[in-house]
Amino acid sequence: MALSKKQKAEEIRMILDELFPEVGIPLQHKDAYTLLVAVLLSAQCTDERVNKVTPALFKLADKPKTMSLLELEQIQEIIRPCGLSTNKAKAIKSLSEILQNQYKGQVPRDIDILETLPGVGHKTASVVMCQAFGVPAFPVDTHIHRLAWRWGLSSGKNVVQTENDLKKLFPKESWNKLHLQMIYFGRKFCPARGHKKEECPICSLFGRKGI
């Protein structure tokens, strides 16, 4: 008898727990603010590249106050390897000014406020909520979106729908760890290109036909 979507999700969660029992946050940071900046920089850029750039940036400024005092050009020059450096530098400087002036230099523990900050979308805000503050969230990027579709857990046409589908299938207490497990799994076993279904520990069992 075919498994229900909920049963399939539980089987997948068990596989992920076995393969990745412990998962660390791939972006180097030391607090909510540095995580926020690092996640912002990771848009259309690899975590590996971000981790090469942020030490120099955070050596210069690792608090909203010091970052807001930097010249825009200083920020842009350091983060240039991450791509989209003009927009990202403006966002980093602007959100730092807002945090300093309106929130006493602290990152608010409120996803709705975070999403109002320059350059901070729902996914970035969700990462900060779950990884900096431990609040259950399920950040969905294009990689998790791809895996959820391949595994038949969501037919979502966008990341918002996929996020809603995954939240319904998995226990709330597993979300924060699970989104990282899926990221690591995707990198190792289920890449966008060169994917071999028969060699993938999950797609070989639950993958859609034709992938």
Residues 158 and 150: their CA atoms lie apart, in Å, by 14
Residues 112 and 85: their CA atoms lie apart, in Å, by 25
CA dihedral 188, 193, 197, 200 (to 10 degrees): 0
Indicate which residues carry an active-site annotation: 123, 141
Residues 64 and 118 sit within 8 Å (Cβ to Cβ):
no
Token pair of 25, please? 């946050």
Rg, the chain, Cα only: 18
CB atoms within 10 A of CB 189: 17
3-class state of residue 37 by DSSP? helix
Residues in Cβ contact with 199 at an 8 Å cutoff, skipping those fewer than 6 apart: 189
Half-sphere exposure of 177 (CA within 13 A, CB side): 15
Residues 116 and 95: their CA atoms lie apart, in Å, by 9
